[in-house]
Structure 1
Amino acid sequence: MVLDPGQRFRVDLTKNQDVGTIIHWHGQIPPNAQDGVPDMPMPLLAPGETRSYDFEAQPGTHWMHSHVPIQEMQLLAAPLIVRSAEDVAADRQEVVMFLHDFSFKSPEEVLAEIAGGHGGGRHGGHGGHGDVQPMQGMPMDGAGAMPGMDHSAMGHGAMGGMPMGSMMGMGDMAMDLNDYDWDAYLANDRTLADPEVVRVERGGRIRLRVINAAAATGFWIDTGSATARLVAVDGHPVRPLAGNRFGLAMGQRLDLEIDLPSEGGAWPILALREGAPERTGLILATPGAEVRRLDVLAEAEAPAFDTELAQEARLIASDALPDRQVDRSHMLILGGSMQPYVWTINGAVWGRHQPIIARSGERVVLSFHNMSMMGHPMHLHGHVFQVVGINGRRFAGALRDTVYVPPMSMVDVALDAGEAARWMLHCHHMPHLATGMMTEFAVTASVWSGRGGPDRAPRRPDPNPMLYCSCSSDV
């Protein structure tokens, strides 16, 4: 779906499948009732039901997907691009690369193999069996609690009770990557055996919008001989960063500007699976150019994604959050293990969690401290945050909605709490989410501050918005 500048997100969503579902508009900030999370507050759409959505769209590269983990693993997702006035005025061609990992097995089988230590992957063969069942419609009531398992001591993941300070700087010494070997890695639903070939002009400028919609795979985007500039992450502009290889974790997006040479040719844009030789991608080609076939396996494995947060540390927001006093801070310990396969926030799975609280309008800092040996892309619904610290070093980083936290690392983000409601906060690695790695950011209404006026509160949507368009989507 592509929206033009000023166009409202106005959609009638019809459920035609025989199972319930719900769609989350990842990167958008709708009213909480339209956010698309099971039972928070709206239930799954029943077969045959139609639900209407209407809110002000946030510009940038975003996407939409089912918020039932096993359905997202079945590729129930699509790009959601909201163009800005600058996009319309620019003399450039827009290209979208939508990335997936894919298995011919059912999501239930995939999760059972991962939980049982038989998912393949690299950097660890994890035997044994956990008592983990996939959670169909998370979040629900208390289904996230794993029967017969004591999660109270799991906040330190596989490292037991080792003190935090002694764990920093361990890098990827014992890092677990790719806990499942998927059957295929897709770019716009195609493999490199039959990639999409995008026709481009000689000397043209490309705006490449890359969306990592994979369930459990981080990628490096390699532009090869076509030098690129990273100009936006998660839909938000950053100070341009030149290069030809940029990484993104699950749920993240990046926008690249590429200036093509004046001569004709073909330029593969590849997505390299982190820590592995598999790759996918598309090809930019001028008319008549020779397009050579590329192998789905590279000659060497790609490195792990941003283990030292070197890429994140170089990103500077073009329009940072305004400076103001921090009203509230929270530490979130990310934990879990491969055996049993359970992932936690502050030592608890969903259903046994303690909400992360704030008041509407407060400036809040969330500190994600990963004490496990897998990386976690942490996504917060209904808000935009700014990365303001990496491993204790303060800086004014990128605006995001999904931040990657490598093993034994800490990332601080700042945000202004929005609508008073329950907002999901979770890992966007779907098997981690499905086995409990989710909590809620519970925002309550602002109160009179006693300092001469009410606390700051976000602007509410116009209750009688002008209708710009109407469109329909069938699921």
Structure 2
Amino acid sequence: MTQKISRRGVLAAGAAMAASFALPRAALASDGPMTLSATTRVLDIDGRAATVLGLENAAGGQGLTLDPGQRFRADLTNDLAERMIVHWHGQIPPNAQDGVPDMPMPLFAPGETRRYDYAATPGTHWMHSHVPVQEMRLLAAPLIVRRPEDLAADRQEVVMFLHDFSFRTPQEVLAEIRSGAGHDDAMPGMQGAGVADPHAGHDMGGADGAMPGMDMSEMEEMAGMDMSSGAMPGHDMAGDGMAGAAPMQMDLNDFDFDAYLANDRTLSDPEVVRVDPGGRVLLRVINAAAATVFWIDSGDLAGRLVAVDGQPVRARAGSRFGIAMGQRLDIAIDLPAGRGAWPVLALREGAVERAGLILATPGAHVPVIPARAEQAAPPFDLDLAQESALRAATALEMREADASQMVMLGGQMQPYIWTINGRVFEERIPVPARQGQRVELVFHNMSMMGHPMHLHGHHFQVVAVNDTRFAGALRDTVYVPPMSRVTVALDAGESAEWMLHCHHMPHLASGMMTTLAVRG
């Protein structure tokens, strides 16, 4: 997925695979609406045919690219034989166009077309089904909205769209995960068995538990714990475990997928993006995986992280950045002069599997990269060091919060139940807010898996990690590792119920959703 933009704003084509994810600007300049269709497609996964879903544009590729200031006007048609709906992740449409089943619009019937029309939010975003089993079947695609500076820059844009994939049906995958047989990839000394059953006496939000609106002291008194440290009493993240209890383990991955994809391809046949010697690249990375956190490793290429979730940040130099499900990274790369080929890899956290693409000048030797590394990649951001280092290029206006709401993240591997404030979605009590309020949400993860928390209809700013406050990145999806607290601030928008959920699809499918209920 690549597009090259000169200072005159002229696009140059990339590799054949890349073209399937890119629209020429001329195709977007017409007065009529863009078109998208939810359809099936066939991929070659290591020599084996796989039928998956997709979101096809008018040019026959996947996803949409908008010019600066262009309105999102699109007709979406369901060409599948099943009902579906699409959420515009990172965008802030009217609530009726947000794309959540029955909130308020029902699923599309087969053959149905609906029009979407709203002011587009610039940045690297994406679109996906809000039916978990459909997203796991790759019903997702990039949604890129350029800024004026993108057209002015003399650089090549490359989109890296990541997936995890199984030849089994999502229903079979979910059944295996829930049975406990899916994977046993835990860090020694940190096991989710130490997490209380959300329906037992330590329920953090059941019938006798905490409700939205309770303050910190009430939560502490109810739970019999001091939350100021971000850890449970007696808990040692190095592995000593709960006082008087068996050692605890953190679960990194609860399923081993058959393949990990970058732009629909494995490393047995990766996309090779042709680049100019000494050129400049903006790598737009989108983690569309159902249940996999990645490290983006540019190897010998020094990069600068310039945006997260489509929102600019003060540039951070580095060659390895982590990305959780639903998140995006924009990485600026200056290529060396002369001929060369440079792999950019997505490393599965806590494991040896990897995906990626290769940037290569014409005539350069393209290396063969094994799909499995010799060493496992480390866990992602357990100490929130990456998140703590990010600073928004333009922060929210400084003001005191009008309300602070605790959002407790809980659950366990057996039985496989994941909750917000101790409740699954069907039993939820919405998190309250009033339109125009400055609201702080305190995500407190008391489980032994990390949770990428996504809020619809809003962008928020990370303002605290555990007890440290700072003016962090603007986001729509924030990763909360085990036994940690992340606080975000937002200005409550349209009066409506907006989805708030974990973007780990098996967690979402097992109940880890609620809503932010904004009232006028």
Taking structure 2 as the reference length, the TM-score comes to 0.79
1:29-50 Cα distance to aligned partner (Å, 9 max, x none): 0000000000000000011111
- Contact 2:274–2:360 (CA under 8 A) maintained in structure 1: yes
- Contact 1:320–1:396 (CA under 8 A) maintained in structure 2: yes
Q: Out of 112, 119, 126, which is 1:49 matched to?
A: 112
Q: What is the distance in 2 between the residues matched to 1:323 and 1:39?
A: 36
Q: Out of 22, 31, 36, which is 2:94 matched to?
A: 31
Corresponding position of 1:109: 172
Q: What is the distance in 1 between the residues matched to 2:469 and 2:517?
A: 26
Q: How does 1:20-419 map to 2 (within 5 A)?
A: 20-123=83-186, 150=199, 153-155=202-204, 163-165=225-227, 166-167=231-232, 170-171=236-237, 173=239, 174-419=249-494
Q: What is the distance in 2 between the residues matched to 1:427 and 1:170?
A: 25
- Contact 1:334–1:372 (CA under 8 A) maintained in structure 2: yes
Amino acid at match of 2:119: E
SS at match of 1:263: coil
- Contact 2:406–2:444 (CA under 8 A) maintained in structure 1: yes
SS at match of 1:347: coil
1:168-195 Cα distance to aligned partner (Å, 9 max, x none): 8743742111100000000000000000
Q: What is the distance in 2 between the residues matched to 1:164 and 1:343?
A: 23
Distance 1:172 1:275, change over 3 A: farther
- Larger deviation, residues 161-170 vs 70-79: 161-170
- Contact 1:154–1:336 (CA under 8 A) maintained in structure 2: no
Distance 1:7 1:151, change over 3 A: farther
Deviation at 1:153, TM superposition (A): 4.2
- Contact 1:172–1:307 (CA under 8 A) maintained in structure 2: no
- Contact 1:156–1:372 (CA under 8 A) maintained in structure 2: no
Q: What is the distance in 1 between the residues matched to 2:411 and 2:498?
A: 22
Q: What is the distance in 2 between the residues matched to 1:278 and 1:154?
A: 36
Deviation at 1:263, TM superposition (A): 1.4
SS at match of 2:253: coil
Deviation at 1:17, TM superposition (A): 1.0
- Contact 1:152–1:348 (CA under 8 A) maintained in structure 2: no
Q: What is the distance in 1 between the residues matched to 2:167 and 2:438?
A: 45
Corresponding position of 2:74: 11
Amino acid at match of 1:163: M
- Contact 1:156–1:371 (CA under 8 A) maintained in structure 2: no
SS at match of 2:313: strand
- Contact 1:38–1:44 (CA under 8 A) maintained in structure 2: yes
Structure 1 alignment gaps of length 5 or more: 126-148, 446-475
SS at match of 2:204: helix
Deviation at 1:121, TM superposition (A): 4.3
Q: What is the distance in 1 between the residues matched to 2:467 and 2:73?
A: 42
- Larger deviation, residues 402-411 vs 115-124: 115-124
Distance 1:194 1:295, change over 3 A: same
SS at match of 1:357: strand
1:343-392 Cα distance to aligned partner (Å, 9 max, x none): 00000000101100111100000000000000000000000000000011
* Aligned residues: CA RMSD: 1.8
Relative CO higher for 1 or 2, CA cutoff 8 Å, sep ≥ 6?
A: 1
- Contact 1:95–1:207 (CA under 8 A) maintained in structure 2: yes
Amino acid at match of 1:433: L
Distance 1:283 1:164, change over 3 A: farther
- Contact 2:465–2:485 (CA under 8 A) maintained in structure 1: yes
Q: What is the distance in 2 between the residues matched to 1:151 and 1:436?
A: 16
Distance 1:156 1:121, change over 3 A: farther
After TM superposition, where is structure 1 displaced by more than 6 Å over at least 4 residues in a row?
none
Q: What is the distance in 1 between the residues matched to 2:112 and 2:205?
A: 43
Q: What is the distance in 1 between the residues matched to 2:329 and 2:205?
A: 31
Identity of aligned residues (%): 68
Amino acid at match of 1:31: P
Distance 1:123 1:353, change over 3 A: same
Q: What is the distance in 1 between the residues matched to 2:349 and 2:238?
A: 13
Q: What is the distance in 1 between the residues matched to 2:257 and 2:238?
A: 22
Amino acid at match of 1:41: P
Taking structure 1 as the reference length, the TM-score comes to 0.86
SS at match of 1:281: strand
Deviation at 1:324, TM superposition (A): 1.2
- Count residues with an aligned counterpart: 421
Q: What is the distance in 1 between the residues matched to 2:184 and 2:151?
A: 43
SS at match of 1:43: coil
Q: What is the distance in 1 between the residues matched to 2:331 and 2:250?
A: 29
Deviation at 1:164, TM superposition (A): 4.7
Deviation at 1:152, TM superposition (A): 7.2
- Contact 2:199–2:422 (CA under 8 A) maintained in structure 1: no
Q: What is the distance in 1 between the residues matched to 2:224 and 2:171?
A: 34
Q: What is the distance in 2 between the residues matched to 1:209 and 1:5?
A: 16
Q: What is the distance in 2 between the residues matched to 1:424 and 1:152?
A: 28
Deviation at 1:163, TM superposition (A): 2.7
SS at match of 1:300: coil
1:275-297 Cα distance to aligned partner (Å, 9 max, x none): 00000000000000000111000
Amino acid at match of 2:320: R
- Larger deviation, residues 180-189 vs 9-18: 9-18
Amino acid at match of 1:50: T
SS at match of 2:427: coil
Distance 1:68 1:48, change over 3 A: same
SS at match of 1:211: strand
- Contact 1:192–1:295 (CA under 8 A) maintained in structure 2: yes
Q: Out of 408, 432, 436, which is 2:511 matched to?
A: 436
Q: What is the distance in 2 between the residues matched to 1:429 and 1:199?
A: 33
